[in-house]
Chain A
Amino acid sequence: MRLDEDLFAKITVVFSFIIMAVGGLFGLVQALNRVPFLEMPGLLEVSDANYYRILTCHGVCLAVAIPIYWITGLAAFLSPRILKVGLDKRLLGLSLAMMLLGGVMATIVILAGKANVLYTFYAPMKAHPGFYWGAALLILGSWVFIAAFVKQYLQWRRQNPGVGTPIAIYGLLATFIVWIEATTPIVITVLKDFIPMSMFGKHVDVLETRTWFWFFGHALVYFWLLPVVTMWYYLIPKKLGVPLFSESMAKVAFILFILASTPVGLHHQFTDPGLAPEYKYMHTVLTLIVASPSMLTGFNILATMERAGRAKGGNGLLGWLAKQPWKDPVYLGLVVSMIIFGVGGITGIINASYQLNMVVHNTAWVPGHFHMTVGNMVVIGYTATTYAMLADLFKRKLISKTTAYSHILLWSIGLFIFSLAYYYVGLHGAPRRTSNIEYGGLLPQSWVFPMEISAIGAILMFAGGVFAVYTVLGSLLFGKSRGVQIPGFSIGNPHPEATTFNPLLENLKFWVIFAALLIIVAYIFPFYEIFSRGLSTVPPVATGLG
């Protein structure tokens, strides 16, 4: 099956917004059901079993499926336009078929209640084999896409020796390198442990499988957010009509992401028994290092914004802020997503701070943190970028600027309220991932009021999500004749796509090998500890509804 790049991009982008609608609705239902002592109207009330069923769906859809579909769609749309080299159409067809089949299969199994294992699917909880096969197929399908992307890049590289890689392509390459780093361990453990466990009752070592999972689990985070970072670097200067403040600093940031986004998984296992403090501390330091490219990025983008604002006559300490094109929903969305990410990122430093983690580990603090980082990046960043794709990819107008603004505003405010409330109850010990936190009336009173506030945040977020889905799908359906034309990707392009060539920054092969060595060093010791102690395997435990 041969597939055109634009058709691939259209299908994956539209599909990801349909999933967003489903996953977002589940999110609202969960947030409301968790509020202690709140009587829910019949339609929105879910049983405990259904709570965990839709929580699994919420996590898998929003955290794994949407990013895979949307990011491959963005790359298929953008890279042929920038590099002027096509993607392999056979690989595109194969990739889309695998990703859709895998995603649909896993979703059906989850919705059928045969995989109430949540998105982390910790062994020895057992789901229906279709869940693991679906997830594996989805991930392997994304690998096929990456093969096409790398093939395209190498072809461009041969045709353009001595030319610097355009920043958007550089960022997408970093995204996919991180994705390969992340998914290799999860594919290993799913094939080696989870599928045999689910199909043949294999006994597995839980500490080992948890370590494999978090080997994947944190790098996954960078896969979600790197395309948005790429869009900050690419679209914000374009919208401003100035070059990026420092392109080499941007590339250094991406290299730091490549190096340090994977060997950090133990920071999700600080409270796991049986992993030595030395290794946990090593992963702590690497986690702090992976915070540094985000700090470099914030500086670089703000410096670009300031330079452009001052050139337009914005004087004084903050006058340049008034000279930004805030009325462009794409620009507004990207900058807002960056500001919220900054706040969320700082709370990530607290999670990563080893001893402090004991206070917040597995409490509601954690969903507070990742909704502010990922929930924000994925929903605002992806949606704003999709608005920009309307003109170039879909040949549509934006159905309404008002709904686009409403989305950004309601989502951001709702997100802040929700996350701050969750930070608060998390610090007071309220758990995450429970259908209910009443504990038969034993719950501390300090949990109740913030949880009620969090529900208000969730409702506002949901309203914002409705506007996002309406704006995207409405523009696609009706944007041909109605709506406002907003500038897309190909607006005024004062700086050339191809840039200066720095041999060290362009030598990605070197950095990938360096990253692989770092990952080996970070993981060989904990795995040695686990295996040398002797595995302690346990039989699978079913969790299905039946």
Chain B
Amino acid sequence: MEPNEGIIYEYVWIVIVAAIVAGLAASLAYYGIALDLNPACNATPIDVDKVLQEFKPGVKELGPGIYQVDILAGQFFWNPNKIVLKDPVRVEFRITSKDVVHGFEIVGTSVNVMVIPGYIAEFSWEPPKNAEGRYLIICHEYCGIGHQEMKAELIIERTNTLLDGADIDALEVTGGDIGKITEPTYIEFEGVISG
């Protein structure tokens, strides 16, 4: 067999590989720039020694369906640990930690952000129109011995659940865990923000 036999396939394959890489890069750029879909979010520095005085956790309704949710994370709690949103259109999250790194994840959605002490993570989320019911919020970054117990819940209430077909097709919730959380228990944390 000639040493250079088949070398043409090598060049063909190089072109295919380059095309795959370029195609993936271009499609991700399209999502990021044209559709403004970016996992990145802003960070505002906050003095961690003053976080308990300066950062006020809670849910505020800024306008019809527009919520601001400020969440404080710590070993091993989310505060508030029960978030109720009625007909949410857009949710502005502001999340920070009083001690170590935590990970904020609403199971079954694409809400997934690192919570870094010293910084307030700020991002907005438009819940899919078919999102309704109870969602489990967990900590997905190891934060210490009680990490696996760190949880909260998000309750989305809808007064008008009639969706047209286009909405259902376009905005399916990833994971599809709606309604699967049936246990009526949720945890109350005591005295966690007093210190």
A295 at interface, CB cutoff 8 A: yes
Contact among B18, B75, B114, B185 with A271 in the assembled complex (CB-CB below 8 Å): B114
- Give Cα distance in the complex from A362 to B138, angstroms: 11
A368 nearest CB across to chain B (Å): 15
A117's closest neighbor in chain B, by CB? B142
- Give Cα distance in the complex from A292 to B118, angstroms: 38
A142 at interface, CB cutoff 8 A: no
Q: Are B32 and A355 neighbours in the complex by a CB distance under 8 Å?
A: yes
A364 nearest CB across to chain B (Å): 10
B31 at interface, CB cutoff 8 A: yes
Given A270-B40, A273-B119, A429-B107, A245:B6 Cβ within 8 A:
yes
Q: Are A249 and B10 neighbours in the complex by a CB distance under 8 Å?
A: yes
List chain B residues, Cβ under 8 A from A516: none
A507 nearest CB across to chain B (Å): 21
B153 nearest CB across to chain A (Å): 8
A534 at interface, CB cutoff 8 A: yes
B158 nearest CB across to chain A (Å): 20
B170 at interface, CB cutoff 8 A: no
B70 at interface, CB cutoff 8 A: no
A42 at interface, CB cutoff 8 A: no
Given A52-B142, A277-B40, A296:B177 Cβ within 8 A:
no
List chain B residues, Cβ under 8 A from A249: 10
A237 at interface, CB cutoff 8 A: no
List chain B residues, Cβ under 8 A from A311: 1
List chain A residues, Cβ under 8 A from B114: 269, 271-273
- Give Cα distance in the complex from A295 to B20, angstroms: 10
25 contacts between A and B (CB under 8 A): A118-B142, A125-B101, A246-B10, A270-B40, A272-B116, A273-B40, A273-B42, A273-B114, A295-B17, A349-B24, A358-B112, A362-B103, A427-B174, A428-B107, A429-B108, A431-B139, A431-B140, A435-B148, A442-B185, A442-B186, A444-B108, A445-B180, A538-B48, A541-B144, A543-B145
- Give Cα distance in the complex from A442 to B110, angstroms: 19
Q: How many residues of B contact A (CB 8 A)?
A: 76
Stretch at the interface among A156-164, A202-210, A223-231, A378-386: A202-210
Among B6, B42, B45, B107: residue with most chain A CB under 10 A: B107
Q: Are A273 and B43 neighbours in the complex by a CB distance under 8 Å?
A: yes
B24 nearest CB across to chain A (Å): 5
Given A273-B116, A288-B24, A428:B140 Cβ within 8 A:
no
B29 at interface, CB cutoff 8 A: yes
List chain A residues, Cβ under 8 A from B14: 296
The 6 closest A-B CB pairs, nearest first, are A274-B43, A536-B118, A273-B121, A429-B107, A273-B43, A536-B45
List chain A residues, Cβ under 8 A from B139: 431
Given A124-B99, A271-B114, A541-B100, A354:B39 Cβ within 8 A:
yes
Contact among B10, B31, B116 with A355 in the assembled complex (CB-CB below 8 Å): B31
B34 at interface, CB cutoff 8 A: no
B106's closest neighbor in chain A, by CB? A429
Q: Are A280 and B40 neighbours in the complex by a CB distance under 8 Å?
A: yes
- Give Cα distance in the complex from A273 to B17, angstroms: 32
List chain A residues, Cβ under 8 A from B119: 206-207, 273-274, 536
List chain B residues, Cβ under 8 A from A476: none
- Give Cα distance in the complex from A436 to B142, angstroms: 12
List chain A residues, Cβ under 8 A from B82: none
B195 at interface, CB cutoff 8 A: no
- Give Cα distance in the complex from A303 to B46, angstroms: 57
Contact among A116, A210, A353, A357 with B145 in the assembled complex (CB-CB below 8 Å): A116
Q: Encode B20-62 as 1/0 by CB contact (under 8 A) with A.
A: 1100110011011000011111110111110000000000000
| A residues 431-457 in Cβ contact with B at 8 Å | 431-437, 439-446
Q: Are B45 and A538 neighbours in the complex by a CB distance under 8 Å?
A: no
A33 nearest CB across to chain B (Å): 10
Given A355-B39, A359-B112, A434:B136 Cβ within 8 A:
no
- Give Cα distance in the complex from A453 to B77, angstroms: 30
**Given A49-B145, A354-B31, A354-B32, 11 extra CB contacts under 8 A:** A48-B146, A52-B145, A122-B141, A125-B143, A206-B116, A273-B42, A273-B119, A359-B112, A435-B147, A440-B183, A533-B45
Interface residues, chain A, CB within 8 Å of chain B?
48-49, 52, 116, 118, 122, 124-125, 205-207, 210, 243, 245-246, 249, 269-277, 280-281, 284-285, 288-289, 291-292, 295-296, 299-300, 303, 307, 311, 349, 353-355, 357-359, 361-363, 427-429, 431-437, 439-446, 533-534, 536-539, 541, 543, 545
- Give Cα distance in the complex from A270 to B177, angstroms: 24
Q: Are A243 and B3 neighbours in the complex by a CB distance under 8 Å?
A: yes
Among B20, B100, B187: residue with most chain A CB under 10 A: B100
Q: Are B148 and A274 neighbours in the complex by a CB distance under 8 Å?
A: no
A506 nearest CB across to chain B (Å): 20
Interface residues, chain B, CB within 8 Å of chain A?
1, 3, 6-7, 9-10, 13-14, 17-18, 20-21, 24-25, 28-29, 31-32, 37-43, 45-49, 75, 99-101, 103, 105, 107-108, 110-114, 116-123, 136, 138-149, 151, 153, 174-177, 180-181, 183, 185-187
A525 nearest CB across to chain B (Å): 13
What is the interface of chain A mostly: helix, strand, loop, or mixed?
A: mixed
B97 nearest CB across to chain A (Å): 9
- Give Cα distance in the complex from A520 to B163, angstroms: 50
Given A273-B42, A296-B17, A433:B141 Cβ within 8 A:
yes
- Give Cα distance in the complex from A143 to B56, angstroms: 49
Q: Are A281 and B1 neighbours in the complex by a CB distance under 8 Å?
A: no
List chain A residues, Cβ under 8 A from B174: 359, 427
- Give Cα distance in the complex from A537 to B48, angstroms: 8
List chain A residues, Cβ under 8 A from B177: 428-429, 444, 446
List chain A residues, Cβ under 8 A from B138: 429, 431, 439
A124's closest neighbor in chain B, by CB? B100
